[in-house]
Amino acid sequence: MKNIVAMPTTFIVKLTQICNINCSYCYVYNHQSEAHAQLPQFLLNDDVHRLGRDIAATRHIHSDVVRKVVFHGGEPLVAGRKRLQEYIDILRSYVPDITFSLQTNGILLSSDWIKFLKNEAISLSISIDGGKADHDQFRVDKRGRGTFNKVRRSIDLLHQTDMPFGLLCVVNPYASGADTYRALKALTPHNFNFLIPDVSRDTCDTYYPELPRLSIGHFLQEAFDLWLAEPEVVRVGLFSDMVAAVLGWKGRTDAFGSENLAYLIYETNGKYELLDVLKVCGSNMTQTSEDIDLLNLNENEQINTIIRSQRIIPTECRACRHAEVCRGGYLPHRWDQQREFDNPSVWCDDLIYIWDHVKRRVSDLARQIDDVSHTLSKSNLIPVYELY
């Protein structure tokens, strides 16, 4: 079998299957998969030892790249500081220079948690979807109540303790992109990113009924224009990668297809999984029939199938003017039962709209200055993904 799978350098480690809130769009709990119900609630120390041994065994591959672990969930803070300290100590015993980050909904953050994260050099990102009304539309607790006020209190605490943080925002297609961008900037994060909503072609209407035409495209355009107008460009991963693609640079995201998966998921049962957002496509899409051997990824046919699907531009997209930069969109968003991944993204019209806009804005900027690639420096535009 021809080797097509490169060794990942980032590992998304699921600390727990438990979450303390209930976002209506959550691909883990509220989409097509019930896998979480069959998985252990917490990752065991023995499985962390296995992960540490595996990562150490791969260090000769891409020896100049630091390995990264992103703690995820569920809600990772539910695991508690004692358990997380044990995991960190185990992993560092195998890979001393490994780096850590953590993605949280922020509800459980406290002064003690922030002190712990600082002491362990764990970078932090908070999930928040803009201002209060837009955030509370989808990100609710188990009783259906909005969570914005609790998240905002945690962000205020981060500022009080001088703890840098990033933000992760799922695009709300019913909201204003400009208002959302301003709301996120007002929180003065170190960086932030937008995620296009995770649905397949089979399920979009269920989760986002009666959408205005091009709602995602208009949202992104409004936010992009504000971002580009900033005197000092803050890192916004999605926009950085889009501009990078227009300039002919290679980005680091798989939001628009990719040569490879730069990360693997490590579940609470101590097994590796593929791209976990594939759970929006079907119940067993992320599970493999055999245990994945990190040192022999190319021997796993299911991984090879996903990588091939991600690399191949869908048939209907090949004549599109944006085929080489968009590549059909994010892999899970291409899925339907009839043609599987050989479809344009469910957000295709929106993607065409925003790619047209980004190309036009970069072209306009290039006409005004001698070297657009120098002005829009790589250090600002190529996203440094501190978090997943």
> Residue 284 pLDDT more than 50?
yes
Q: How many CB atoms lie within 10 A of CB 58?
A: 18
Q: How many CB atoms lie within 10 A of CB 150?
A: 16
Q: What is the rounded CA–CA span in Å between residue 229 and residue 134?
A: 24
Which DSSP string corresponds to 57-99?
HTTTTTTTS--EEEEESS-GGGG-HHHHHHHHHHHHHH-TT-E
Q: Which residue has the higher pLDDT, 262 or 228?
A: 228
Q: What pLDDT does residue 236 have?
A: 93
Residue 381 — pLDDT band, cuts 50, 70, 90? very low
> Residue 203 pLDDT more than 60?
yes
> Residue 160 pLDDT more than 60?
yes
Inter-residue contact 263 to 307 (CB < 8 Å): no
Which DSSP string corresponds to 192-211?
EEEE-----TTTHHHHSTTP
Query: How many angstroms separate the first and last alpha carbons of the chain?
Result: 30
166-170 β-sheet, strand order? 191-195, 166-170, 122-127, 99-104, 68-72, 10-14, 263-266, 272-273
118 phi/psi in degrees, rounded to 5? -65, -45
Average pLDDT over the chain reads 89
> Residue 374 pLDDT more than 60?
no
Average pLDDT on 17-44 reads: 90
Both structure tokens of 8: 């990942």
Average pLDDT on 91-114 reads: 97
What is the DSSP code (8-state) at residue 340?
A: B
> Residue 208 pLDDT more than 90?
yes
Residue 293 — pLDDT band, cuts 50, 70, 90? confident
Inter-residue contact 325 to 355 (CB < 8 Å): yes
The pTM assigned to this predicted structure is: 0.91
Average pLDDT on 74-80 reads: 97
pLDDT digits (tens, 9 = 90+) for 236-279: 999 988 998 898 877 667 788 776 677 889 999 999 987 889 88
Q: At what angle do helices 348-368 and 215-229 cross, to 10 degrees?
A: 20
> Residue 366 pLDDT more than 80?
no
